[in-house]
Structure 1
Amino acid sequence: MSTPQPPAPTPTLRLAPVTPDNFDAVCALSVRPDQEHLVSPVTKSLAEASAHGEVAWPRAIVDGDEVVGFVMAFLDIPWNPAEDPHDIRSGLWRLNISAAHQSKGYGRFAVKAVTAELRRRGTSRAYVTWHAGAGTPEPFYLGLGFRPTGEESDGETVAVLDLTNP
């Protein structure tokens, strides 16, 4: 079975800022019931984005006029300043693809778009975390080239993607 390739960005498929025009559609997104324990709801992500505005980069994943998902990156966060004040990281904070739109390449598109934005900002590595267990997104992220670092963050596996080789 071949891995689906992400749809190419087009004027109809894009990441868009969350605005009053798409806010309700973004908040209405829900993953499959068996995934709810693996990712926070979009409403929590938007609250975190508001509280951490300087480092949060929330975006709707839009295909045509339809919101199909939500992605939020984190930008330049000191990872563990007490141990290494120079360890500044950026990466994927949240990824929610609507249950009705999963397995269509939207998640891959969103990760590729976020990593392209991080490259544009001069970032050389992108980080992500995931919960272990049934339904984990680990195979998805490993398939995109992320590799576990051996670290954990709040009980989640930490992985990194080298952005210097597109």
Structure 2
Amino acid sequence: MSAHTLSPTLSLAELTPGNIDAALALRVRPGQEHLVSSVAKSLAEAYVHGEAAWPRLIMDGERPVGFVMAFFDLVFYPDRPGERPRSGLWRLLVDGQAQHGGYGRFAVEQVCAEIRRRGGTRATVTYHPGDSGPAGFYARLGFRETGETSGEQAVAELELAP
């Protein structure tokens, strides 16, 4: 069952001058900092990538509980022949006090819906492999590792049903 079914108050919100401080205050649990970049770094990357980046706050009613950033039709390695544009999940950070509430699943579902809305048929994600990382979370959502790496991160994809 999706988090949206569990809590009808979930939404994604654009970042604004009124909610930027709340976004920057989001933190993962101690010991998870190596798994995901900060919201500040993510927003800097969104700024330099322009319209290809899609940063959003994960909201439960009026309360920010996380941050998600998607990317659309980016070619990550233009120096690789045959590199195809990809769309997918760039960052997912659920605040340490809000983890295990279905917020991550909701955010991934919303990113996949946006990719489909834009005509995409596949969602890509990268993550730090290993027991303490999110590989199991993404596998439960249907993502399958491609065997590729992006830096030190594993690459996984999900075929999206129309």
When normalised by structure 2's length, the TM-score is: 0.93
* Identity level (%): 56
State the match for 1:99 in structure 2: 96
- Structure 1 residue 53: Cα displacement: 1.3
Match of 2:158 among 135, 149, 161: 161
What secondary structure does 1:75 align onto? Answer: strand
Q: Does 1:111 align with 2:108?
A: yes
Q: Unaligned stretches of 5+ in structure 2?
A: none
Q: Does 1:143 align with 2:125?
A: no
State the match for 1:89 in structure 2: 86
Q: Distance in 1 between matches of 2:12 and 2:121?
A: 21
Q: CA-atom RMSD, angstroms?
A: 1.7
- Structure 1 residue 134: Cα displacement: 3.8
Q: Does 1:51 align with 2:48?
A: yes
**How many residue pairs are counted as aligned between the two chains?**
162
Q: Deviations over 1:136-159 (max 9, x none)?
A: 000000000000001000011000
Higher strand share: 1
What secondary structure does 1:7 align onto? Answer: helix
Q: Does 1:35 align with 2:32?
A: yes
TM-aligned CA distance change 1:38 to 1:86, over 3 Å: closer
The residue type paired with residue 68 of structure 2 is: V
The residue type paired with residue 122 of structure 2 is: R
What secondary structure does 1:67 align onto? Answer: strand
State the match for 1:66 in structure 2: 63
Larger deviation: 8-17 or 73-82?
8-17
The residue type paired with residue 131 of structure 1 is: H
What secondary structure does 2:142 align onto? Answer: coil
Q: Distance in 1 between matches of 2:43 and 2:82?
A: 27
Q: Unaligned stretches of 5+ in structure 1?
A: none
When normalised by structure 1's length, the TM-score is: 0.91
TM-aligned CA distance change 1:9 to 1:82, over 3 Å: farther
